[in-house]
Amino acid sequence: MKKKFRLPEAAALFLLLALTACPTTLVDKTDPAIASMPFITVHPTSVDYLATETIEPLIVEVKVASTGGLTYQWYENTSLSNQGGTAIAGETGDTYQPVSKSEGFYYVTINNSSEDKDFTVTSQPARIRTVSSAPAPLAVRLTVDMDTTYNYVRAFGGALNVWGEPDVTTAEIERLYNPDTGLGYNFLRICLYHNLEEVLDNTEIPAVDRSDYFDNVKLVNQYGGYVLATPWTPPVDMKDPPQRQGGSRLRPDMYVSYALYLADYAQRMYDEGAPIYALSIQNEPDYVASYDGCEWSAQEQENFFLRVRRFTNGVPGWGGGKATPYVKILPGEVAHTPSKYVNLMTNETVASYLDIVGYHIYSNVNNNPEYTAAHSRGKETWMTEHIYTNTGNRFADPQWQSVWSIANEVHHVVGVLNSSAFNAWWIKRFYGLIGDDGLNEGGGARNFNFPAPPDGQPTWRGYALSHFAKFAKETWRVKLDAAGIDANVWNARVGDNGASSGVHGTAYKTEDGNAISLVFYNQEKVSYNDIQIDLPANFTARSAWAIITTSSDDNAMSTDNVDKKIMEPHPVTLLPGRKSAVLSFPQSCIISVKFVK
HEC string for 33-76? CCCCCCEEEECCCEEEEECCCCCCCEECEEECCCCCCEEEEEEE
Class of domain 39-131: mainly beta
Cα(327)–Cα(310) distance, rounded to whole angstroms? 10
Contact 449, 442 (CB under 8 A): no
Give me the amino acid identity at 123.
S
CB atoms within 10 A of CB 16: 22
Residue intervals in the chain for CATH 2.60.40.1180: 141-148+479-596
> Residue 367 has what pLDDT?
60
Cα(502)–Cα(520) distance, rounded to whole angstroms? 10
Cα(385)–Cα(189) distance, rounded to whole angstroms? 9
Residues paired with 119 in a beta bridge: 112
Task: Give 9-26+152-472's CATH code, choosing from 3.20.20.80, 3.40.50.300, 3.40.50.1980, 3.30.1180.20.
Answer: 3.20.20.80
> Residue 122 has what pLDDT?
93
The pTM is what?
0.89
CB atoms within 10 A of CB 19: 20
Residue 241 preceded by cis peptide, ω within 30? yes
> Residue 13 has what pLDDT?
54
Residue intervals in the chain for CATH 2.60.40.10: 39-131
Within 355-454, strands assigned E span 356-360, 380-385, 421-424
Question: Can you list the alpha helix ranges (DSSP code H) found in 248-297?
Answer: 255-271
Question: Helix or strand or coil: residue 392?
Answer: coil
Cα(382)–Cα(132) distance, rounded to whole angstroms? 50
Q: Number of helices (H) and strands (E), helices first, in the chain?
A: 11, 32
CA angle 467, 411, 477 (to 5 degrees): 80
Task: Give, for 349, the enclosing helix (H) or strand (E).
Answer: helix 348-352
pLDDT along the chain (597 residues), means of 10: 47 50 40 60 91 93 79 95 95 94 94 80 92 82 93 97 84 94 96 92 79 96 97 98 97 98 98 98 96 96 98 97 97 88 93 96 71 92 89 83 92 91 93 80 48 86 98 96 57 42 87 96 86 95 94 93 91 93 93 95
Residue 291, phi-psi category: left (phi > 0), alpha (psi -120 to 50), beta (remainder): beta
Residue 426 preceded by cis peptide, ω within 30? yes
The DSSP letter of residue 22 is S
CA angle 114, 120, 122 (to 5 degrees): 155
Over its C-alpha atoms, the chain yields an Rg (Å, rounded) of 25
Q: How many residues does the chain have?
A: 597
Cα(413)–Cα(419) distance, rounded to whole angstroms? 6
DSSP letters for 90-133: T--SSEE-PPP-SEEEEEEEEEEE-SS-EEEEEPPPEEEEEESS
Residue intervals in the chain for CATH 3.20.20.80: 9-26+152-472
* Domain 141-148+479-596: assigned CATH number: 2.60.40.1180
Residues paired with 73 in a beta bridge: 109
> Residue 494 has what pLDDT?
37
Contact 515, 595 (CB under 8 A): yes
Cα(146)–Cα(535) distance, rounded to whole angstroms? 9
Query: Strand 126-131 vs strand 356-360: parallel, antiparallel, or unpaired?
Result: unpaired
Nearest to 542 by CA among 57, 98, 141, 74: 57
Cα(79)–Cα(77) distance, rounded to whole angstroms? 6
Cα(534)–Cα(484) distance, rounded to whole angstroms? 13
| CB-count burial class (<10 Å; 0-12, 13-18, 19+) for 172 | buried
Cα(291)–Cα(162) distance, rounded to whole angstroms? 12
The DSSP letter of residue 283 is B
